[in-house]
Amino acid sequence: MTGAEELRKNLKETVAFLNENGVKDPEIGVILGSGLNGFAERIADPVVFSYDDIPNMQAGKVSDHRGVLVFGEYHGKRVVMLAGRFHYYESLDMQKASYAARVLVALGVKRFIITNAAGCINTGWNVGDLMLIRDHINLSGNNPLIGDNLDEFGPRFPDMTYTYNAELRKKLKTKASEKGIGLREGVYMMFTGPSFETPAEIRFARTIGADAAGMSTVPEAIIANHAGCEIIGISLMTNMAAGVLDQPLSGEEVNAAAAEARDKFGTVLDLAIDI
């Protein structure tokens, strides 16, 4: 079987399983980043699946990322929330790192809300700030569309000029400011991880125009954009990036900041689902 045939077959199995078990015509797909997985519990009367029970779905091993797909009606919309993602650094496999996004597309999702925890490169910003992603830089050295193109999803050479929807960004910024929440806007840069960046890498990232550093989101955004979906990207600054302050970084710090900002992030996610 070619790579494309195998991917098609796997997606067919995954989608058939989800459809048969009550996941029908989702409009919005939400991918929850570190520390935000609890948001999925807001869906009333949900259909819940552990990734382990979904054919071909890869569960990540990072402890906070539970690996649960939740479907239900939320704020009057049919929403699929993915609590837990499989990261590129877990296996150097872009197909696995983007499979969940492929599933959302194949289920019929038209709007993606992709969230993450990120290191703050912009020295004018602070830990706890939320950034709407205006654009990204893919420093992973890889691309989830490498290999046979699935023409039914999108073109071989997809344009990336308007990946993160400007109109939705503007609306979301206005709505958030009405609630007293200021949203930053900037460029997300994907490093592979799992080691955090060096101070020199962060200086490089800043020089070439990045505001935030992270280890996710880009594979999913490339897949969603390929398929013509609208994308809202939201990064939570969980720490100042390496070298911005004269102190080490830690995963605990990231989780603590994510916990601290949970309410604000939840409000912005609600607004993003409403627009």
**What H or E segment, with its residue span, contains residue 230?**
strand 230-240
* Residue 112 · residue 224 · CB < 8 Å: yes
Query: Shortest approach of ligand HPA to residue 119 CB, angstroms?
Result: 2
Binding mask 171-200 for ligand HPA (x = CB under 6 A): --------------------x----xx---
Residue 119 contacts ligand HPA per CB under 6 A: yes
d(CA 249, CA 195): 10
Among 29, 60, 84, 214, binds ligand HPA (CB under 6 A): 214
Residue 83 contacts ligand HPA per CB under 6 A: no
Inter-CA distances, 175 with 33, 133, 228, 262, 270, Å:
22, 16, 25, 18, 10
Query: Shortest approach of ligand HPA to residue 245 CB, angstroms?
Result: 11
Residue 56 contacts ligand HPA per CB under 6 A: no
Q: Residues 150-163, buried b or exposed e (16+ Cβ, 10 A)?
A: beebbeeebeeeeb
Query: Shortest approach of ligand HPA to residue 170 CB, angstroms?
Result: 26
Among 7, 139, 215, 224, binds ligand HPA (CB under 6 A): 215
Query: Shortest approach of ligand HPA to residue 194 CB, angstroms?
Result: 9
> In residues, how long is the chain?
275
CA 240 centroid distance within chain: 20
* Residue 241 · residue 197 · CB < 8 Å: yes
The closest residue (CB) to ligand HPA is 119
Among the residue ranges 42-50, 135-143, 155-163, 212-220, the one whose residues contact ligand HPA (CB under 6 A) = 212-220
Parallel/antiparallel/unpaired status of strands 184-190 and 130-138: parallel
Residue 31 contacts ligand HPA per CB under 6 A: no
Residue 254 contacts ligand HPA per CB under 6 A: yes
- Amino acid letter, 271: L
Q: Which residues bind ligand HPA (CB under 6 A)?
A: 117-119, 191, 196-197, 213-215, 238-239, 241, 249, 254
